[in-house]
Amino acid sequence: MGNHILTIEKTTDNRFLNMYNLHYENKVGRKKLYHIASRGRDIDALKISTRKNTPDGVIIYSIYGEKRDRMVLVRQYRLSIDDYIYELPAGLVDEGETYAQAGARELKEETGLDFEPLEVDEMYHKPFFTTIGMTDESCATVYGYASGTVSADGLEDSEQLEVVLADRAEVRRILKEENVSMNCGYLMMHFLHHTEEDPFYFVSQE
């Protein structure tokens, strides 16, 4: 017999993120306590309850410039590390939005840039879990081209970030020297090896 959850208790009441206690019995019959964070507003909204992997957020991998030679990054201050970290533009998915719509909205808000989404097979932009050891959060990834002029007009007061249009040399430097989120780091590695003809070679249809 494996682990199974007995009861769930919500311990905070915040707008965007809450803590839950999972009371469970482990595989040898001992009762244990596990803590998770979730963007679910209540117990019924947890993925434990819905059994559906509905994305909480969207991550935007976008290429900028006529030569398709720059990657859109954000250098953002994060309280969890009291430091700056390089990330992909990202944000929460509003109810009723498609991944592409959420990506376009979030890119515009964070960077001022316009977004032309790429159509890819579902397996490339289906939601994946972020840090499953402590949260049920999952995010979908959208791919496409960015254009326009960088602007900070759409940022909230709590957001402290700088838009970086990084070429390959800068991407290489960032990977070597800076704090980088995991999903951003992996896509930066793809960017280092893409061709100008097809920067999204790794999600191309066969």
Name the pLDDT band for 93 (thresholds 50, 70, 90): very high
- Cα separation, 65 vs 11, in Å, equals 47
HEC-encoded secondary structure of 4-35: EEEEEEECCCCCCCEEEEEEEECCCCCEEEEE
Counting residues of the chain whose pLDDT is more than 90, the rounded percentage is 84
**Closest by Cα among 139, 128, 119 to 200:** 119
pLDDT at position 124 is: 92
Smallest CA-to-CA distance from 137 within 37, 59, 45 is with: 37
Q: What is the dihedral of CA 192, 65, 181, 143, to 10 degrees?
A: -90
Beta strand 4-10 with 18-25 is antiparallel
**Does pLDDT of 96 surpass 70?**
yes
Average the pLDDT over each of 19-28, 72-81, 144-153, 155-164 and give the range with the smallest value.
155-164
* pLDDT tens digits along 154-206: 888 888 999 999 999 999 999 999 999 999 999 999 999 876 678 898 887 65
Q: pLDDT tens digits for 51-61?
A: 999 999 999 99
pLDDT score for 205: 61
Please write the tens of the pLDDT for every residue from 115-140.
Answer: 999 999 999 989 999 999 999 999 99
At residue 88's C-alpha, the angle toward residues 38 and 86, to 5°, is: 100
Q: Can you tell me whether residue 48 is helix, strand or coil?
A: helix
Residue 111, both tokens: 């960077």
For residue 80, pLDDT over 80 is answered with: yes
Q: What is the mean pLDDT of residues 5-19?
A: 96
35-71 confidence digits (pLDDT tens): 999 999 999 999 999 999 999 999 999 999 988 999 9
State the average pLDDT over residues 76-87: 97
